[in-house]
Amino acid sequence: MRIAVLGGDGYCGWATALYLSKQGHAVTIIDNFVRRQWDYELGVQTLTPIQPLPQRLRAWEQLTGQTIDLRVGDICDYEFSAAAIRDLQPDAIVHFAEQRSAPYSMIDRQHAVYTQVNNVVGTLNLLFAARELKPDCHIVKLGTMGEYGTPNIDIEEGFLEIEHNGRKDTLPFPKQPGSFYHLSKVHDSHNMMFACKIWGLRATDLNQGVVYGTVTDEVQMDEALINRFDYDEVFGTVLNRFCAQAAIGMPLSVYGKGGQTRGFLDIRDTVRCIELACLHPAKPGEFRVFNQFTEQFSVLELAQTVKSVGAQMGLKVEIDHVPDPRVEAESHYYNAKHSKLADLGLEPHLLSASLLDSLINIAVRYRDRIDPSVFAPQVNWRAGKNERRTAAIPAPEPVV
Amino acid sequence: MRIAVLGGDGYCGWATALYLSKQGHAVTIIDNFVRRQWDYELGVQTLTPIQPLPQRLRAWEQLTGQTIDLRVGDICDYEFSAAAIRDLQPDAIVHFAEQRSAPYSMIDRQHAVYTQVNNVVGTLNLLFAARELKPDCHIVKLGTMGEYGTPNIDIEEGFLEIEHNGRKDTLPFPKQPGSFYHLSKVHDSHNMMFACKIWGLRATDLNQGVVYGTVTDEVQMDEALINRFDYDEVFGTVLNRFCAQAAIGMPLSVYGKGGQTRGFLDIRDTVRCIELACLHPAKPGEFRVFNQFTEQFSVLELAQTVKSVGAQMGLKVEIDHVPDPRVEAESHYYNAKHSKLADLGLEPHLLSASLLDSLINIAVRYRDRIDPSVFAPQVNWRAGKNERRTAAIPAPEPVV
């Protein structure tokens, strides 16, 4: 298939682009490198020393003989995004090209507005470009399980059959997103559902859980292909952050009680889910929703697991409960369905001690790049404006 | 009360500002006159010859001795909106300041993006300004009944108790908006609900039905206070448009079968609903939703009523069914609740023959200002891009 991977220089996007290329698809990455810019803004960097994208792509070609094309630009610029769709004529557009951090969107007004405008306008542009230039292409859009919030009922995959006053309908599942970022994804979902209805576009909204891990078969082929490993309080996903803390002997920072339960998945399942969605496209006019995760854990359960695996590795790992900077239930009912991707053939990599061991080992390997000052939450949901202190990043030193 | 009326130069905003001033509230209008600009863009004009806002305000002061203050600017400019909130310290912010036409948002990509960015960013700015500068003020926001779409179950006021797999929760009513404009209001609603939750703001979301009429007690005090009467296909609401068509002997243009059923209300009820919401504010942290309409009609029922009243006035009125330019169900179940404003004391002005008679008479009075070319729908939901022909507006001539 001809597949455009938007945001292909990011954490999930890069692993996905390589995986799809390996499977023989003709992949083009579209990216404007703003993810790297956010690191400069925040004074943080990925634990793993990632290469500039052109180097990454050259290494991929040398190793595999396969090429991944690149178009550099911002999908919020319609001239750019329309030209890309017109030239590439993709069978599928995999859309990771959004600001994806909840804390980033909660820093202050500017970051909230930026996140919503960037994400909503980028997606609107794609919908209009597809309508105009490639109406039968399949849009595979990354949403988030965070769109649902934590309702006191089972979470279904996108839609819910409701009986009310003796009548029935199947309606979009009610959304209670918990940050301006999560809200932007809810806005996108509504816009996409509408575009499919009026224009007959086909789209899959992947409500992804929290991703962990950094290695895939492709990424580990060579150091030049190494993937991001974000551990800071703004972009670091929780399990990766815990592993980085364990690696340098810092206590794992659990927000509040840690009863916050979410869906999680290994990045190796992310890439496979994307391919499964592409291989089994939505029908014309169909807007379908898959919940893309494999297991549920509470944050405290994850911390305890990291502590226990760390102990087996000889690391002394403590768990610290810090005041929750977010406004969220610290313990709640949570039961989210996730059978549609399994029905298409997903065989999940469940969280195992060996995966955690390997993840902590990566963190140990790059421990000298860890800036311990960027773990502590500095973005408080209750404030309208958070002054982030940007730390001086210690220069990378050779590992002893 | 100190009340800021955002969008106070528009159709509902102007009538509301006068009404609130008459009741003794200290009113400030905030407007950037973009509504007048859209008329220039589209080559249309209000049936009634409205005065520039400063003239309107001078006339109001001369007639009543009461002043309405004015601040000219765009709430998408945070410096402007924050300064207004800081200086005024309003008890209530009545927020009409959005692009409110579904067809306008469906013209093409630029108009869709403009509508969503303008509406979402303006509302985000207000939420942040309130959080920062007047956190206890009550935000009274105009939403639309169109946020709900036409589900096959009864529509509740904002929230729905759902039982699913043996568990219960009260969740936001699922939304199925039918244009990029209606989508922008859904985005706003989600953003506001979240801001109330995290910051303890207080807000009322008024999901308003289709407004008809142009006259209120205040507006009719003097010709200089006359309100807008939009009859064009982009900004004209359906009943006003039918009355204008009846006035010049053009057939009433019903889209498709005309079974589209919606909630409607008289503009005299709009202004009273706004005051009722202000007088009975939401509690801190509360995001509440009122469905603001008084009666349900199908479009065809309205056309038949206009035809019948027109006949009594000696007008020959035909009904024409034109292909529906929108993607919507042309006949469907519709039963929307609307008891919360009645509980606060709303005494509705139901649609009567005498009101319709008076509305048609206004249209007859200004019939020489009617451009018959702007009735026909030129914005097709199924197209990604609509070329609107802007007609040369006939110069107003004295009525014979």
pLDDT surpassing 70 at residue A337:
yes
**Mean of the pLDDT values across residues A63-74?**
98
Please tell me which residue of chain A has the smallest CA distance to B164. Answer: A153
pLDDT tens-digit map of B209-226: 999 999 999 999 999 999
How close, in Å, is residue A126 to chain B by CA atoms? 10
pLDDT at A134: 98
ipTM score assigned to the predicted complex: 0.96
Instruction: Name the residue among B171, B186, B327 with its Cβ closest to that of A198.
Output: B327
Please tell me which residue of chain B has the smallest CA distance to A171. Answer: B174
- Best mutation target, A134, A157, A160, A164, to test chain B (most B CBs within 10 A): A164
**Taking the complete model, does pTM exceed 0.95, yes or no?**
yes
How close, in Å, is residue A137 to chain B by CA atoms? 16
The SS3 call for residue B284 is coil
**Mean of the pLDDT values across residues B64-75?**
98
Question: Cα–chain-centroid distance for residue B143?
Answer: 8
Instruction: Name the residue among A78, A333, A384 with its Cβ closest to that of B128.
Output: A384
pLDDT at A388: 74
pLDDT at B390: 60
Any idea which residue has 């659990």 for tokens?
A254
User: Which of A118-122, A392-396, B122-126, B252-256 shows the lowest per-residue confidence on average (mean pLDDT)?
Assistant: A392-396
pLDDT tens-digit map of A368-378: 999 999 999 99
Any idea which residue has 């810090």 for tokens?
A322
Taking Cα atoms as reference points, which of A179, A305, A336, A314 lies closest to residue A243? A305
B109-133 vs A180-199: helix crossing angle, rounded to 10: 160
pLDDT averaged over every residue in chain B: 96
pLDDT at A398: 45
DSSP secondary structure of A309-322: HHHHTT----EEEE
Task: Name the token pair of A296.
Answer: 């549920």
Task: Exactly one of A28, A48, A123, A144 is catalytic; name it.
Answer: A144
Q: DSSP letter for B224, please.
A: G
Distance, CA of B36 to CA of B32 (rounded, Å): 9
Are B164 and A160 a contacting pair at CB < 8 A?
yes
H/E run at residue B255: strand B252-255
Are A131 and B384 a contacting pair at CB < 8 A?
yes
- Best mutation target, A190, A324, A334, to test chain B (most B CBs within 10 A): A190
Taking Cα atoms as reference points, which of A162, A304, A122 lies closest to residue B165? A162
Annotation marks residue A333 as catalytic: no
Are B120 and A125 a contacting pair at CB < 8 A?
no
Annotation marks residue A185 as catalytic: yes
pLDDT at A392: 54
Instruction: Name the residue among B78, B164, B384 with its Cβ closest to that of A154.
Output: B164
Show residues of chain B in contact with A151, CB under 8 Å: 169, 171
Residues whose CB falls within 8 Å of the CB of residue A218, separated by 6 or more in sequence, listed in order: A15, A18, A19, A21, A22, A225
Confidence of residue B25 (pLDDT cuts 50, 70, 90): very high
pLDDT tens-digit map of A166-209: 999 999 999 999 999 999 999 999 999 999 999 999 999 999 99
Please tell me which residue of chain B has the smallest CA distance to A201. Answer: B382
pLDDT at A400: 39
- Best mutation target, B123, B155, B191, to test chain A (most A CBs within 10 A): B191
pLDDT surpassing 70 at residue B274:
yes
Are A187 and B120 a contacting pair at CB < 8 A?
yes
Instruction: Name the residue among A120, A153, A171 with its Cβ closest to that of B167.
Output: A153
Are A178 and B194 a contacting pair at CB < 8 A?
yes
pLDDT tens-digit map of A79-96: 999 999 999 999 999 999
Q: Is B284 left (phi over 0), alpha (psi -120 to 50) or beta?
A: beta
Instruction: Name the residue among B125, B190, B198 with its Cβ closest to that of A381.
Output: B198
Are B165 and A153 a contacting pair at CB < 8 A?
yes
pLDDT surpassing 50 at residue A306:
yes
Could you give the percent of chain A with pLDDT greater than 90?
Answer: 96
pLDDT tens-digit map of B153-202: 999 999 999 999 999 999 999 999 999 999 999 999 999 999 999 999 99
Backbone angles phi, psi at B156, to 5 degrees: -95, 180
Q: What's the maximum distance between 2 C-alpha atoms anywhere in chain A?
A: 70
B40, B219 in Cβ contact below 8 A? no
pLDDT tens-digit map of A375-393: 999 999 999 999 876 655 5
Annotation marks residue B185 as catalytic: yes
Question: Cα–chain-centroid distance for residue A82?
Answer: 25
Please tell me which residue of chain A has the smallest CA distance to B178. Answer: A194
pLDDT surpassing 70 at residue A340:
yes
End-to-end CA distance of chain B: 46
B262, B211 in Cβ contact below 8 A? no
Taking Cα atoms as reference points, which of B37, B52, B203, B158 lies closest to residue B104? B37
pLDDT surpassing 60 at residue B278:
yes
- In three state form, how does the secondary structure of A263-330 look? EEEEHHHHHHHHHHHHHCCCCCCCEEEEEECCEEEEHHHHHHHHHHHHHHCCCCCCEEEECCCCCCCC
Please tell me which residue of chain A has the smallest CA distance to B327. Answer: A198
- Whole-Å CA distances, A34 to A50, A100, B20, B98: 15, 12, 48, 30
Are B384 and A112 a contacting pair at CB < 8 A?
no
